[in-house]
A = this chain, B = another copy of it.
Amino acid sequence: MPPNPTSTRRDRATIEDVAAAAGVSVATVSRALRGLPNVAEPTRERIERIAAELNYRADPAASRLAAGRSRSVAVAVPLLDGWYFAHVVAGAEAVFAEAGYDTIIVGIGAQGEGRHVLEIAGPIYRRVDGLICVDVSLTDDELGRLQNERMEVVYVGHDSDAIPCMGIDDVEVGRLATQHLIDLGHRRIALINGQPDDVLGFVVPHKRQQGYESAHHGAGLTPDPSSQMPGYFTIEGGYQALSRLLDLPDPPTAVLSFSDEMAFGALWAARDRGVQVPHDLSIIGVDDHDLSVLLDLTTVHQDVAEQGALAARTMIELLAGREVPSGRQNTEVRLIERGTTAAPRR
Protein backbone atom coordinates (compact mmCIF):
# COMPACT_ATOMS: atom_id res chain seq x y z
CA MET A 1 0.00 0.00 0.00
CA PRO A 2 1.50 3.30 -1.04
CA PRO A 3 1.86 5.95 1.62
CA ASN A 4 -0.95 8.39 1.21
CA PRO A 5 -0.47 11.20 3.66
CA THR A 6 -2.77 13.64 1.90
CA SER A 7 -5.85 11.42 1.84
CA THR A 8 -8.97 11.38 3.97
CA ARG A 9 -7.26 10.80 7.25
CA ARG A 10 -5.54 14.14 7.36
CA ASP A 11 -8.00 15.49 9.86
CA ARG A 12 -7.30 15.13 13.48
CA ALA A 13 -4.62 14.56 16.03
CA THR A 14 -5.15 11.51 18.19
CA ILE A 15 -3.91 10.91 21.67
CA GLU A 16 -1.01 8.99 20.18
CA ASP A 17 0.12 11.98 18.19
CA VAL A 18 0.17 14.04 21.33
CA ALA A 19 1.98 11.31 23.24
CA ALA A 20 4.60 10.99 20.55
CA ALA A 21 5.14 14.73 20.29
CA ALA A 22 5.44 15.05 24.03
CA GLY A 23 7.65 12.01 24.39
CA VAL A 24 5.35 10.29 26.87
CA SER A 25 2.83 7.48 26.80
CA VAL A 26 -0.84 7.85 25.91
CA ALA A 27 -1.76 7.06 29.48
CA THR A 28 0.13 10.07 30.72
CA VAL A 29 -1.50 12.27 28.13
CA SER A 30 -4.89 11.01 29.18
CA ARG A 31 -4.18 11.70 32.83
CA ALA A 32 -2.63 15.07 32.20
CA LEU A 33 -5.43 16.36 30.05
CA ARG A 34 -8.14 15.25 32.41
CA GLY A 35 -6.50 16.83 35.40
CA LEU A 36 -5.90 13.54 37.18
CA PRO A 37 -3.20 13.20 39.83
CA ASN A 38 0.11 11.43 39.32
CA VAL A 39 1.42 13.67 36.60
CA ALA A 40 4.47 15.87 37.25
CA GLU A 41 3.58 19.49 36.81
CA PRO A 42 6.17 20.21 34.08
CA THR A 43 4.99 17.13 32.19
CA ARG A 44 1.40 18.27 32.42
CA GLU A 45 2.23 21.71 31.14
CA ARG A 46 4.19 20.38 28.23
CA ILE A 47 1.40 18.02 27.28
CA GLU A 48 -1.20 20.74 27.52
CA ARG A 49 0.85 23.02 25.34
CA ILE A 50 1.39 20.36 22.71
CA ALA A 51 -2.25 19.32 22.77
CA ALA A 52 -3.26 22.91 22.19
CA GLU A 53 -0.78 23.25 19.33
CA LEU A 54 -2.09 20.12 17.71
CA ASN A 55 -5.63 21.28 18.37
CA TYR A 56 -6.25 17.96 20.01
CA ARG A 57 -9.46 17.07 21.75
CA ALA A 58 -10.41 13.62 22.92
CA ASP A 59 -12.91 11.86 20.69
CA PRO A 60 -16.05 11.70 22.79
CA ALA A 61 -17.19 8.41 21.32
CA ALA A 62 -13.90 6.78 22.17
CA SER A 63 -13.89 8.03 25.72
CA ARG A 64 -17.51 7.14 26.17
CA LEU A 65 -16.75 3.64 25.03
CA ALA A 66 -13.73 3.26 27.22
CA ALA A 67 -14.97 5.08 30.29
CA GLY A 68 -18.68 4.49 30.12
CA ARG A 69 -19.56 8.16 30.51
CA SER A 70 -20.62 10.44 27.70
CA ARG A 71 -20.67 13.85 29.34
CA SER A 72 -24.05 14.51 27.89
CA VAL A 73 -27.54 14.57 29.28
CA ALA A 74 -30.99 14.41 27.79
CA VAL A 75 -33.81 16.79 28.58
CA ALA A 76 -37.22 15.34 27.84
CA VAL A 77 -40.11 17.75 27.35
CA PRO A 78 -43.65 17.27 26.05
CA LEU A 79 -43.27 20.04 23.51
CA LEU A 80 -40.40 22.30 22.79
CA ASP A 81 -42.18 25.39 21.68
CA GLY A 82 -44.16 26.14 24.81
CA TRP A 83 -42.95 29.11 26.79
CA TYR A 84 -42.42 27.12 29.94
CA PHE A 85 -40.44 24.34 28.31
CA ALA A 86 -38.29 26.65 26.24
CA HIS A 87 -37.28 28.48 29.39
CA VAL A 88 -36.55 25.36 31.40
CA VAL A 89 -34.40 24.03 28.59
CA ALA A 90 -32.61 27.35 28.20
CA GLY A 91 -31.82 27.46 31.91
CA ALA A 92 -30.55 23.91 31.92
CA GLU A 93 -28.53 24.18 28.74
CA ALA A 94 -26.62 27.20 29.97
CA VAL A 95 -25.53 25.37 33.10
CA PHE A 96 -24.66 22.19 31.25
CA ALA A 97 -22.64 24.02 28.63
CA GLU A 98 -20.71 25.79 31.34
CA ALA A 99 -19.88 22.45 32.92
CA GLY A 100 -18.89 20.86 29.63
CA TYR A 101 -21.96 18.70 29.20
CA ASP A 102 -23.90 18.40 25.97
CA THR A 103 -27.64 18.76 26.10
CA ILE A 104 -29.76 16.47 23.96
CA ILE A 105 -33.37 17.47 23.67
CA VAL A 106 -36.11 14.94 23.34
CA GLY A 107 -39.63 16.00 22.46
CA ILE A 108 -42.12 13.53 23.81
CA GLY A 109 -45.22 14.97 22.21
CA ALA A 110 -47.96 16.58 24.23
CA GLN A 111 -51.08 14.98 25.62
CA GLY A 112 -49.70 11.54 26.22
CA GLU A 113 -50.53 10.63 22.63
CA GLY A 114 -46.88 11.13 21.78
CA ARG A 115 -43.88 8.94 22.16
CA HIS A 116 -43.42 7.77 25.67
CA VAL A 117 -40.23 7.28 27.52
CA LEU A 118 -40.22 3.69 26.46
CA GLU A 119 -39.50 5.03 23.03
CA ILE A 120 -37.21 7.85 23.96
CA ALA A 121 -35.15 5.04 25.37
CA GLY A 122 -33.75 4.96 21.84
CA PRO A 123 -32.02 8.33 21.88
CA ILE A 124 -31.23 7.91 25.50
CA TYR A 125 -29.91 4.42 25.67
CA ARG A 126 -26.22 4.54 26.50
CA ARG A 127 -26.02 7.91 24.89
CA VAL A 128 -26.40 10.12 27.90
CA ASP A 129 -25.35 9.99 31.51
CA GLY A 130 -28.54 11.47 32.81
CA LEU A 131 -32.09 12.43 32.00
CA ILE A 132 -34.04 15.46 33.06
CA CYS A 133 -37.78 14.97 32.71
CA VAL A 134 -39.75 18.19 32.46
CA ASP A 135 -43.38 17.50 33.18
CA VAL A 136 -42.78 14.03 31.86
CA SER A 137 -43.42 11.07 34.06
CA LEU A 138 -41.65 7.77 34.19
CA THR A 139 -43.26 4.60 35.39
CA ASP A 140 -41.50 2.91 38.27
CA ASP A 141 -40.43 0.28 35.83
CA GLU A 142 -38.91 2.77 33.44
CA LEU A 143 -37.18 4.60 36.24
CA GLY A 144 -35.78 1.33 37.48
CA ARG A 145 -34.48 0.40 34.07
CA LEU A 146 -32.77 3.75 33.63
CA GLN A 147 -31.19 3.59 37.04
CA ASN A 148 -30.16 0.06 36.32
CA GLU A 149 -28.20 1.46 33.40
CA ARG A 150 -26.52 3.81 35.84
CA MET A 151 -28.38 6.81 34.57
CA GLU A 152 -29.28 9.65 36.88
CA VAL A 153 -32.76 11.11 36.65
CA VAL A 154 -34.04 14.49 37.82
CA TYR A 155 -37.59 15.76 37.55
CA VAL A 156 -38.81 19.25 36.88
CA GLY A 157 -42.45 19.86 37.66
CA HIS A 158 -43.36 16.30 38.49
CA ASP A 159 -43.02 14.78 41.87
CA SER A 160 -41.32 11.66 43.10
CA ASP A 161 -39.73 10.70 46.35
CA ALA A 162 -37.25 8.39 44.70
CA ILE A 163 -35.33 11.12 42.87
CA PRO A 164 -34.59 14.83 43.11
CA CYS A 165 -37.39 17.08 41.87
CA MET A 166 -37.28 20.77 41.04
CA GLY A 167 -40.36 22.89 40.96
CA ILE A 168 -42.61 25.16 42.87
CA ASP A 169 -45.13 24.62 45.59
CA ASP A 170 -48.05 23.96 43.29
CA VAL A 171 -50.58 23.63 46.06
CA GLU A 172 -49.54 27.06 47.26
CA VAL A 173 -49.81 28.41 43.72
CA GLY A 174 -53.40 27.25 43.47
CA ARG A 175 -54.17 28.53 46.91
CA LEU A 176 -52.53 31.91 46.41
CA ALA A 177 -54.30 32.62 43.17
CA THR A 178 -57.67 31.45 44.42
CA GLN A 179 -57.33 33.35 47.67
CA HIS A 180 -56.63 36.51 45.69
CA LEU A 181 -59.91 36.06 43.85
CA ILE A 182 -61.80 35.22 47.02
CA ASP A 183 -60.34 38.27 48.75
CA LEU A 184 -61.63 40.39 45.91
CA GLY A 185 -65.10 39.04 46.65
CA HIS A 186 -65.49 36.36 44.02
CA ARG A 187 -67.57 33.31 44.82
CA ARG A 188 -67.97 31.59 41.49
CA ILE A 189 -64.40 30.88 40.48
CA ALA A 190 -63.86 28.68 37.47
CA LEU A 191 -60.76 26.71 36.64
CA ILE A 192 -58.91 26.24 33.40
CA ASN A 193 -57.03 23.05 33.96
CA GLY A 194 -54.64 20.87 31.93
CA GLN A 195 -55.88 17.61 30.52
CA PRO A 196 -59.52 16.58 30.95
CA ASP A 197 -58.57 13.81 33.24
CA ASP A 198 -55.08 13.15 34.05
CA VAL A 199 -53.27 10.94 31.65
CA LEU A 200 -49.91 10.08 33.00
CA GLY A 201 -50.10 11.12 36.58
CA PHE A 202 -49.28 14.66 35.61
CA VAL A 203 -49.32 15.90 39.12
CA VAL A 204 -48.86 19.64 38.67
CA PRO A 205 -52.49 20.51 37.82
CA HIS A 206 -53.70 18.15 40.53
CA LYS A 207 -51.74 19.96 43.16
CA ARG A 208 -52.78 23.38 41.95
CA GLN A 209 -56.32 22.16 42.06
CA GLN A 210 -55.84 21.06 45.66
CA GLY A 211 -54.77 24.58 46.50
CA TYR A 212 -57.78 25.92 44.67
CA GLU A 213 -60.03 23.68 46.69
CA SER A 214 -58.39 24.34 50.00
CA ALA A 215 -58.71 28.09 49.49
CA HIS A 216 -62.39 27.55 48.80
CA HIS A 217 -62.87 25.44 51.88
CA GLY A 218 -60.96 27.89 54.01
CA ALA A 219 -63.51 30.51 53.00
CA GLY A 220 -66.44 28.22 53.56
CA LEU A 221 -67.01 27.81 49.83
CA THR A 222 -67.46 24.74 47.70
CA PRO A 223 -65.87 24.72 44.25
CA ASP A 224 -68.18 23.80 41.42
CA PRO A 225 -66.85 20.84 39.42
CA SER A 226 -68.88 21.83 36.38
CA SER A 227 -66.86 25.02 36.01
CA GLN A 228 -63.54 23.25 35.62
CA MET A 229 -62.50 22.99 32.00
CA PRO A 230 -59.47 21.42 30.35
CA GLY A 231 -57.23 23.92 28.58
CA TYR A 232 -54.35 21.61 27.62
CA PHE A 233 -51.83 24.28 28.57
CA THR A 234 -52.17 25.94 25.18
CA ILE A 235 -53.47 29.33 24.08
CA GLU A 236 -56.07 27.69 21.88
CA GLY A 237 -57.13 25.41 24.72
CA GLY A 238 -57.59 28.38 27.00
CA TYR A 239 -59.74 30.05 24.37
CA GLN A 240 -61.99 27.03 24.09
CA ALA A 241 -62.17 26.57 27.83
CA LEU A 242 -63.33 30.09 28.53
CA SER A 243 -65.79 29.96 25.66
CA ARG A 244 -67.42 26.97 27.25
CA LEU A 245 -67.38 28.53 30.68
CA LEU A 246 -69.18 31.58 29.35
CA ASP A 247 -71.86 29.33 27.92
CA LEU A 248 -72.64 27.94 31.34
CA PRO A 249 -76.10 28.80 32.73
CA ASP A 250 -74.46 30.50 35.68
CA PRO A 251 -71.10 31.70 34.37
CA PRO A 252 -68.24 32.42 36.75
CA THR A 253 -67.19 35.90 37.80
CA ALA A 254 -63.56 34.88 37.90
CA VAL A 255 -61.35 32.24 36.39
CA LEU A 256 -58.05 30.78 37.46
CA SER A 257 -55.99 29.49 34.59
CA PHE A 258 -53.16 27.11 35.38
CA SER A 259 -50.88 28.80 32.88
CA ASP A 260 -50.51 32.27 31.47
CA GLU A 261 -50.71 30.95 27.94
CA MET A 262 -54.15 29.47 28.64
CA ALA A 263 -55.06 32.76 30.33
CA PHE A 264 -54.07 34.56 27.13
CA GLY A 265 -56.44 32.32 25.24
CA ALA A 266 -59.12 33.12 27.79
CA LEU A 267 -58.46 36.84 27.40
CA TRP A 268 -58.87 36.41 23.70
CA ALA A 269 -62.15 34.52 24.06
CA ALA A 270 -63.43 37.17 26.45
CA ARG A 271 -62.63 39.87 23.94
CA ASP A 272 -64.33 37.94 21.15
CA ARG A 273 -67.44 37.62 23.30
CA GLY A 274 -67.44 41.23 24.34
CA VAL A 275 -66.86 40.25 27.94
CA GLN A 276 -65.05 43.07 29.76
CA VAL A 277 -62.03 42.06 31.81
CA PRO A 278 -61.89 42.66 34.72
CA HIS A 279 -65.32 44.25 35.01
CA ASP A 280 -67.38 41.31 33.86
CA LEU A 281 -64.77 38.68 34.54
CA SER A 282 -61.50 38.46 36.43
CA ILE A 283 -58.73 36.30 35.03
CA ILE A 284 -55.59 35.16 36.81
CA GLY A 285 -52.83 32.99 35.40
CA VAL A 286 -49.74 31.18 36.53
CA ASP A 287 -46.18 31.71 35.22
CA ASP A 288 -45.57 35.40 34.71
CA HIS A 289 -44.87 34.91 31.03
CA ASP A 290 -42.79 37.62 29.34
CA LEU A 291 -45.92 39.01 27.75
CA SER A 292 -48.10 38.96 30.83
CA VAL A 293 -47.05 42.44 31.81
CA LEU A 294 -48.05 43.63 28.36
CA LEU A 295 -51.45 42.01 28.58
CA ASP A 296 -51.72 43.32 32.11
CA LEU A 297 -52.41 39.82 33.36
CA THR A 298 -52.54 39.17 37.08
CA THR A 299 -50.57 36.01 37.69
CA VAL A 300 -48.42 33.95 40.02
CA HIS A 301 -44.79 34.45 39.19
CA GLN A 302 -42.32 31.59 38.99
CA ASP A 303 -38.72 31.58 37.83
CA VAL A 304 -38.73 28.92 35.17
CA ALA A 305 -35.20 29.24 33.82
CA GLU A 306 -33.93 28.95 37.38
CA GLN A 307 -35.72 25.64 37.77
CA GLY A 308 -33.96 24.35 34.67
CA ALA A 309 -30.66 25.62 35.99
CA LEU A 310 -31.25 24.01 39.37
CA ALA A 311 -32.09 20.73 37.75
CA ALA A 312 -28.90 20.90 35.74
CA ARG A 313 -26.78 21.70 38.77
CA THR A 314 -28.36 18.84 40.65
CA MET A 315 -27.67 16.52 37.75
CA ILE A 316 -24.05 17.59 37.65
CA GLU A 317 -23.70 16.85 41.36
CA LEU A 318 -25.26 13.46 40.88
CA LEU A 319 -22.97 12.63 37.98
CA ALA A 320 -19.99 13.70 40.03
CA GLY A 321 -21.02 11.02 42.49
CA ARG A 322 -21.90 13.49 45.20
CA GLU A 323 -24.87 12.94 47.45
CA VAL A 324 -27.98 14.89 46.58
CA PRO A 325 -31.11 14.72 48.68
CA SER A 326 -33.91 13.15 46.72
CA GLY A 327 -37.23 14.85 47.03
CA ARG A 328 -38.46 18.25 46.20
CA GLN A 329 -36.61 21.54 45.86
CA ASN A 330 -38.98 24.43 45.33
CA THR A 331 -38.28 27.91 44.06
CA GLU A 332 -40.27 30.90 45.26
CA VAL A 333 -43.58 31.97 43.82
CA ARG A 334 -45.38 35.24 44.36
CA LEU A 335 -48.59 36.88 43.35
CA ILE A 336 -48.28 39.63 40.77
CA GLU A 337 -51.36 41.83 40.84
CA ARG A 338 -52.12 43.45 37.54
CA GLY A 339 -55.18 44.61 35.72
CA THR A 340 -57.13 41.48 34.87
CA THR A 341 -58.49 40.91 38.34
CA ALA A 342 -60.87 43.12 40.30
CA ALA A 343 -63.87 42.84 42.55
CA PRO A 344 -66.89 41.24 40.90
CA ARG A 345 -69.44 43.68 39.59
CA ARG A 346 -72.03 42.78 42.15
Residue numbers of A with Cβ under 8 A of B are: 8, 10-12, 57, 59-62, 64-65, 70, 72, 79-81, 86-87, 89-90, 93-94, 97, 100, 102-107, 115, 122-123, 125-127, 148-150, 235, 264-265, 267-268, 271, 290-291, 293-295, 305
Contact = CB atoms under 8 A, between A and B. Distances in A.
Nearest to A108: B97
Contact of A105 (B60, B81, B93, B294): B93
Contacts of A79: 90
A86 B93 contact: no
A312 B327 CA distance: 38
Given A80-B86, A93-B107, A102-B123, A61 B70 contact: yes
Given A104-B72, A105-B103, A149-B11, A125 B65 contact: no
A11 B151 CA distance: 12
Contacts of A70: 61
A252 B172 CA distance: 47
Given A65-B65, A291-B264, A126 B12 contact: yes
A60 B97 contact: no
- The residue in A8, A103, A267 that gathers the most chain B C-beta atoms within 10 A of its C-beta is A103
Closest 6 pairs between A and B when the two form their complex, measured CB to CB? A61-B64, A80-B90, A86-B86, A81-B90, A61-B65, A61-B61
A11 B125 CA distance: 11
B93 A12 contact: no
Contacts of A86: 80-81, 86
A127 B102 contact: yes
A123 B10 CA distance: 21
Contacts of A122: 57, 100
A40 B103 CA distance: 40
22 contacts: A11-B149, A12-B126, A57-B122, A59-B126, A61-B127, A62-B65, A72-B104, A80-B86, A80-B90, A81-B87, A93-B107, A97-B106, A97-B115, A102-B104, A102-B123, A103-B105, A104-B105, A235-B291, A264-B291, A264-B294, A268-B293, A294-B295
